[in-house]
Amino acid sequence: MNYISTRGKSAPQDFAQVLLAGLAPDGGLYMPAAWPQFSRAELAQFRGRPYADSAFEVLKRLASNAFSDDELREDIEAAYADFDNADIAPLVELDAAPGTYLLELFHGPTLAFKDIAMQVLGRLFARALAKRGGRATILAATSGDTGSAAIAALGGLPNIDVFIMHPKDRVSEVQRLQMTTSPHANVHNIAVEGTFDDAQSIVKQLFAQKAFARGVNLTAVNSINFARIAAQAVYYFTAAAELGEPATFVVPTGNFGDVFAGEAAMRMGLSVAQLVVATNANDILARALDEGVYASGEARPTLSPSMDIQVASNFERALFEASGRDSEWIAEAMAQFAESGSLELPSSVLDALRERYAAHATGDEETLEAIRFVYETEDRLIDPHTAVAYAAAQPFIADGGPVVILSTAHPAKFPQAVERATGVEPDLPERLKGLYEGEERYDVLPAEAGEIRRYILDRLAQL
Ligand SMILES: *Cc1c(COP(=O)(O)O)cnc(C)c1O
């Protein structure tokens, strides 16, 4: 499978090159030149088989020209060996709401769904880098969970340096500690004095500085990296096969990576009733789908910090497909959005998006109510991101047909919100017990691309 850029001005690349590059040189995002197709019989086979086998079947179609079957199998098996649930992504039906399910995606090392893709990506990345030779510098902006998942997957690997920017004081304490207590010398944490969007914008600016980017072999492992989308598509296939009929998937959404993985599964042949984009008060995506204007505002801190995002990078992938893969329009539209912070969606694009996506925004009060309600009716604690999706799911539950709520984080990752809603402090799972004893390492820097560039060059010079 070859990959093309949404903006149409970069040469096609194979999966390993896409993995190592992250962003395309023309500023666009990589997409498969054509989507591989699963037949109905093949889709049914996702039922009841070990999760790693399902992941292999999906990744094989997308990565076969870059890695052998044996390489893929080895890395995928290793990626899921350390999860604390043998099903990896178990589907749990709610007692008080039959036909409504939680898809638990938080059984990996850092307790959020990011592990599911990052554990695979880290291993394949190291393999691709060893084949290519040389070093790589990974730069990521995180709203909290990508950073810890990337550090868990890439900390201590040879020839890779990992620079993670998180917005200072805007991630939960558990999230911060998971990043800053890493013992590995190749991990460099930066608390940026700004928002997630500021940090993400610095990533984009530094990628655009071609000489710098080439000089340090700059790479992105956030959800703009197609390898993550590929690995996240897997649980849509496994959940749908288990249910045996088309479901509505409700997805807590920030950067649009996870919900786009659902579109990817659909484009590979999966029948899905609807993809519901569940956002918190940072509702740019809900407004874009409702009103047809994609316009960013000021990012507001909420109880679901991993979704405190105004500019959803992966939305470009959905726009690319919705426009009939019109890369010329995408390049113009993205340039306009970058300049003015606003983009009016043509009606043909909006109609195509609405065929697949619905959206709902939920405020903090309603989020707390959802956590409380699920605790009272199910005797189960859910995290605030899952709660945002739970609230968004309600009208779809009334419609009939299975509804799958993606449960993207373990409640212990956001204990303050959970305790505020229920009066109960969630137990920290065994693997996080030592977290509060670890020594923290991070530097505080202004949200300014030049400062970050200088910091990276200084750190690399000390190697
Ligand atoms: C990252 C994250 C999200 C949002 O996922 P996107 O792919 O950025 O849309 C939702 N919930 C949790 C817990 C996350 O860590």
Summarize pLDDT for 371-425 with one digit per residue, the tens: 999 999 999 999 999 999 999 999 999 888 899 999 999 999 999 999 999 999 9
Strands 91-93 and 160-167: unpaired
Report the SS3 class of residue 109. coil
SS3 content of the chain, % helix, strand, coil (to 5): 50, 15, 35
Q: Is the CB of 109 under 6 A from ligand 1?
A: no
Q: Determine the pLDDT at residue 297.
A: 85
Q: Is the CB of 104 under 6 A from ligand 1?
A: no
What CA–CA distance (Å, rounded) separates 354 from 341?
22
Torsion of CA 403, 285, 307, 251, to 10 degrees: 10
* Residue of 9, 60, 114, 168 with catalytic role: 114
Residue 199 confidence (pLDDT): 95
Average pLDDT over residues 350-357: 98
Q: How far is the CA of 55 from the centre of ligand 1 (A)?
A: 20
pLDDT for 299: 85
Find out whether the beta carbon of 316 lies less than 6 Å from any atom of ligand 1: no
Which of 102, 164, 176, 253 has most ligand 1 atoms within 8 Å of its beta carbon, as the pocket-test mutant?
Answer: 253
pLDDT of 64: 83
Task: List the residue whose alpha carbon is closest to atom 14 of ligand 1.
Answer: 306
Percent of the residues in the chain that have a pLDDT greater than 70, as a whole number = 100
Residue 65 has pLDDT above 90, yes or no: no
By three-state DSSP, how is residue 339 classified?
A: helix
- Which residue among 113, 260, 313 is best mutated to probe the pocket of ligand 1, counting the most ligand atoms within 8 A of its Cβ? 113
CA 407 / ligand 1 centre spacing (Å):
10
Mean pLDDT confidence for 332-337: 96
Ligand 1 within 6 A of CB of 256: yes
3-state secondary structure of 148: helix
DSSP-assigned letter for residue 29: B
User: Is the pLDDT reported for residue 283 higher than 90?
Assistant: yes
**Residue 215 CA, ligand 1 centroid: distance in Å:** 31
Q: What is the pLDDT of residue 310?
A: 85
Percent of the chain with pLDDT over 90: 90
pTM: 0.95
Q: Residue of the nearest CA to atom 1 in ligand 1?
A: 306
What pLDDT is attached to residue 421? 98
Q: Which atom of ligand 1 is nearest to the CA of 257?
A: 7
pLDDT confidence band for 189 (50 / 70 / 90): very high
Tell me what pLDDT residue 433 has: 83
Ligand 1 centroid to 253 CA: how many Å? 6
User: For ligand 1, atom 10, which residue shows the shortest CA distance?
Assistant: 252
Q: Is the CB of 112 within 6 Å of ligand 1?
A: yes
Q: Residues 48-60: what's their mean pLDDT?
A: 97
What pLDDT is attached to residue 217? 95
pLDDT at 220 over 90: no
Tell me the mean pLDDT in the region 352-359.
97
pLDDT band at 273 (very low <50, low <70, confident <90, very high): very high
**How far does residue 223's CA lie from ligand 1's centre (Å)?**
9
Q: Which of 121, 172, 258, 407 to mutate to test the pocket of ligand 1 (most atoms within 8 A of CB)?
A: 258
10-18: long-range contacts at Cβ-Cβ below 8 A with a sequence spacing of 24 or more? 14/65, 14/66, 15/62, 15/63, 15/64, 15/65, 15/66, 15/67, 15/226, 15/227, 16/63, 16/66, 16/67, 16/124, 16/128, 16/131, 16/132, 17/66, 18/225, 18/226, 18/227
Copy the structure tokens of residue 17: 């090159």
Residue from 301, 312, 283, 307 nearest 169 by CA: 301
Q: How far apart are the C-alpha atoms of 402 and 99, rounded to whole Å?
A: 5
Cβ 253 under 6 angstroms from ligand 1: yes
Is 413 touching ligand 1 by the criterion CB < 6 Å?
no
C-alpha of residue 313 to centroid of ligand 1, in Å: 12
* Contact present, 120 and 79 (Cβ < 8 Å): yes
- Structure confidence by residue, pLDDT tens digits, 425-457: 999 888 888 888 999 999 999 999 999 999 999
Flag whether pLDDT at 344 surpasses 90: yes
Q: What is the mean pLDDT of residues 322-342?
A: 96
115 lines ligand 1 (CB under 6 A): no
Q: Show the tokens assigned to 93.
A: 């039906």
Using a 6 Å cutoff on CB, does residue 252 contact ligand 1? Answer: yes
Say which residue, 298 or 386, is predicted with more confidence. Answer: 386
> With 90 as the cut, is the pLDDT of residue 243 above it?
yes
Any ligand 1 atom below 6 A from CB of 142: no
The tens digit of pLDDT for each residue in 141-161 reads 998 899 999 999 999 999 999
Tell me whether residue 210 is one of the annotated catalytic residues: no
